[in-house]
C-alpha cells in the first residue's frame, strides 16, 4: 500500500523527487485528486495508463504552475491567454495545439495534435508542480471508469498498491473534475462541464461557448467515449424518495424525518446549495456504493450553473450502467 502523508515541506520535496525519478504520486487538487507523473518522461506516463487501466487513446491533462510554463507546451492563442489570465489558477482545463519540441510525451496526449493544460489552484498541487520543475501529467487518481477521488483515502482504496506516495491535502473543495474547454478550433467548445461555467467563459471571451457532450458520432474528447464516473450500485435519477432496499441521495430540504440518522440517506446539500452538493457528490456516492443497496435513488438537481456539471456526472454514471 502506498504511504499517505500529510502535505508539508518535507513530503512535498519527497513527492517532487519521486516525480523527477519517474515515479507516480497521488496529489490533492481542488477538483479531485490526481495521479501525477513527469509529463516529459514517456515511461513515467506509461505507468499512469497501466496503474489506471486507462485505454491509451485517452489523453491526459498536463498540469503547470505558471502561464509561462503553459506557453512552453501549448500554443496559447489570444483566447487561451485571455482565459488563462482571467480564470487560472482554478478548476479549468484548456485544449490548445501542442507546441513542437516541448518534450511532452506523445503518449500523454495520445498522439493528438492538441494538448490539455490546467493550472490548479490548490496550494499543495502548486507547490509540488513548482518543486518538481517539470509539467505534471495527471488524470484523476482512480481506476479507469470508476468514481473520481475527492480524498487521499479514496486514492488509496482505488490505486494504493500502484503509487509510490500519496500526499494528503484535505477533501477536494470543488469535488468535480475541471471544466474542459477546447480552444483549438474556430469556436470555443466545452467538452466537459465543471465549476467554471459557460457564463464565466462568456464573460471573458464575449461569446457563449458551444457545449459538446460527446453524444454523437465523433466525440472530440476521447474520454467522452468511455464508461465514466460510475459507482457499482445502480443509480435511479430524478427520484422523489427511496423505495424498499434503496439508498437515497437527496438534495435540498427533505421531508424524511429519519434523514439525519439513517446511514442509507445522504443529503448533498440540505439548504440546496449547488457548490456544497458538488463537493459532497463523489464522497457520498463512494460511501453509499459500499452499503450493499439495490440501487441509489437520487433527487432531481436543478440543471443550471454548477448543476449542469453535477447532472452531467450523474447521467454518465447512470448511462454507463445500462
Ligand atoms: O479536475 C481534473 O481535470 C482532474 C485533476 C486531477 O486535474 N483530472 C482529470 O483528468 O479529470 P482525466 O484524465 O480523468 O480527464 C481528462 C479528460 C478526459 O476526458 C480526456 O479525454 C480529456 O480530458 N482530454 C485530455 N486531453 C485532451 C485533448 N487533447 N483533446 C480532447 N480531450 C482531451
Ligand atoms: Mg477521470
pLDDT band of 218, cuts 50, 70, 90 = confident
Q: In which region does residue 72 sit, left (phi positive, over 0), alpha (psi from -120 to 50) or beta (all else)?
A: alpha
Q: Which of 54, 150, 223, 230 to mutate to test the pocket of ligand 1 (most atoms within 8 A of CB)?
A: 223
For the chain, give every domain's residue range.
4-211, 235-319
- Compute the distance between CA of residue 193 and CA of residue 258 in angstroms, rounded to an integer: 34
The answer to whether residues 236 and 246 touch, using CB atoms and an 8 Å cutoff, is yes
Q: Give residue 1's pLDDT.
A: 73
CATH class of segment(s) 235-319: alpha beta
Please tell us whether the domain made up of 4-211 is placed in CATH 3.90.870.10.
yes
Report the candidate in 164, 194, 172, 165 with the shortest Cα–Cα distance to residue 123.
172
Q: How far is the CA of 116 from the centre of ligand 1 (A)?
A: 7
- Of residues 89 and 256, the one with the higher pLDDT is 89
Output the average pLDDT for the chain: 93
Q: What is the DSSP string of 20-77?
A: HTT--EEE--SSS-EEEEETT-HHHHHHHHHHHT--TTS--PEE-SSHHHHHHHEE--
Q: Which of 61, 174, 313 to mutate to test the pocket of ligand 1 (most atoms within 8 A of CB)?
A: 61
156 φ/ψ angles, rounded to the nearest 5 degrees = -60, -40
pLDDT at 177 > cutoff 90: yes
With a 6 Å cutoff on the Cβ, whether 173 touches ligand 1 is no
User: 91-102: per-residue pLDDT in tens?
Assistant: 999 999 999 999
Q: Among the bound ligands, name the one nearest to the CA of residue 219.
A: 1
What is the reported pTM?
0.93
CA atoms within 13 A on the CB side of 114: 20
CA atoms within 13 A on the CB side of 75: 12
Q: Which of 60, 111, 281 to mutate to test the pocket of ligand 1 (most atoms within 8 A of CB)?
A: 60
Q: Among the bound ligands, name the one nearest to the CA of residue 176.
A: 1
Q: Which of 221, 227, 317 to mutate to test the pocket of ligand 1 (most atoms within 8 A of CB)?
A: 221
User: How far is residue 101 CA from its own chain's centroid?
Assistant: 28
Nearest CA to ligand 1 atom 19: 223
With a 6 Å cutoff on the Cβ, whether 55 touches ligand 1 is no
Q: Which three cell numbers stand for residue 259?
A: 434523514
Q: State the closest ligand 1 atom to the C-alpha of 116, by its place in the atom list counted from 1.
A: 26
Report the alpha-carbon angle 106-107-108, nearest 5.
90
With a 6 Å cutoff on the Cβ, whether 82 touches ligand 1 is no
With a 6 Å cutoff on the Cβ, whether 269 touches ligand 1 is no
pLDDT at 223 > cutoff 60: yes
Nearest CA to ligand 1 atom 3: 178
Q: How far is the CA of 148 from the centre of ligand 2 (A)?
A: 6
Overall average pLDDT of the 233-247 stretch: 95
Q: Give residue 322's pLDDT.
A: 46
* DSSP β-ladder status, 62-63 and 114-118: parallel
| Residue 214 vs residues 19, 66, 265: alpha-carbon distances, Å | 33, 30, 32
Q: What is the DSSP string of 62-120?
A: EE-SSHHHHHHHEE--HHHHHHHHHH-SSSEEEEEEEPTT----TTTTTT-SEEEEE--
* DSSP β-ladder status, 74-75 and 25-27: unpaired
User: 181-190: per-residue pLDDT in tens?
Assistant: 999 999 999 9
Q: Among the bound ligands, name the one nearest to the CA of residue 194.
A: 1
Amino acid at each position: 500500500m502506498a504511504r499517505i502523508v500529510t502535505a508539508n515541506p518535507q513530503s512535498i520535496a519527497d513527492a517532487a523527487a519521486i516525480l523527477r525519478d519517474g515515479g507516480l504520486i497521488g496529489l490533492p487538487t481542488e477538483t479531485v485528486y490526481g495521479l501525477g507523473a513527469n509529463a516529459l518522461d514517456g515511461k513515467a506516463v506509461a505507468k499512469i495508463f497501466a496503474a489506471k487501466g486507462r485505454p491509451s487513446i485517452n489523453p491526459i491533462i498536463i498540469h503547470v504552475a505558471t502561464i509561462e510554463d503553459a506557453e512552453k507546451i501549448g500554443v496559447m492563442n489570444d483566447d487561451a491567454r485571455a482565459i488563462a489570465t482571467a480564470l487560472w489558477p482554478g478548476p479549468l482545463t484548456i485544449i490548445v495545439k501542442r507546441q513542437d519540441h516541448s518534450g511532452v510525451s506523445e503518449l500523454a496526449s495520445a498522439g493528438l495534435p492538441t494538448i490539455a493544460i490546467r493550472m490548479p489552484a490548490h496550494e499543495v498541487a502548486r507547490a509540488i508542480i513548482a518543486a518538481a520543475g517539470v509539467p505534471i501529467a495527471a488524470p484523476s487518481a482512480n481506476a479507469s471508469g470508476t468514481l473520481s477521488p475527492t480524498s487521499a483515502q479514496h486514492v488509496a482504496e482505488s490505486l494504493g498498491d500502484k503509487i509510490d506516495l500519496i500526499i494528503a491535502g484535505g477533501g477536494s473543495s470543488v469535488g468535480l473534475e475541471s471544466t474542459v474547454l477546447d480552444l483549438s478550433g474556430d469556436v470555443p467548445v466545452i467538452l466537459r462541464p465543471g465549476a467554471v461555467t459557460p457564463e464565466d467563459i462568456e464573460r471573458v471571451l464575449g461569446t457563449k461557448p458551444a457545449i459538446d457532450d460527446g453524444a454523437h458520432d465523433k466525440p472530440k474528447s476521447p474520454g467522452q467515449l468511455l464508461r465514466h464516473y460510475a459507482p457499482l450500485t445502480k443509480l435511479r435519477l430524478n427520484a422523489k424518495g427511496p423505495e424498499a432496499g434503496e439508498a437515497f441521495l437527496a438534495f435540498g430540504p427533505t421531508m424524511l424525518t429519519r434523514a439525519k440518522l439513517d446511514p442509507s440517506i445522504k443529503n448533498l446539500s440540505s439548504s440546496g446549495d449547488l457548490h456544497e452538493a458538488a463537493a459532497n457528490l463523489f464522497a457520498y456516492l463512494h460511501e453509499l456504493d459500499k452499503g450493499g443497496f439495490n440501487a441509489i435513488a437520487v433527487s432531481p438537481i436543478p440543471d443550471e450553473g454548477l448543476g449542469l456539471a453535477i447532472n452531467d456526472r450523474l447521467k454518465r454514471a447512470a448511462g454507463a450502467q445500462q
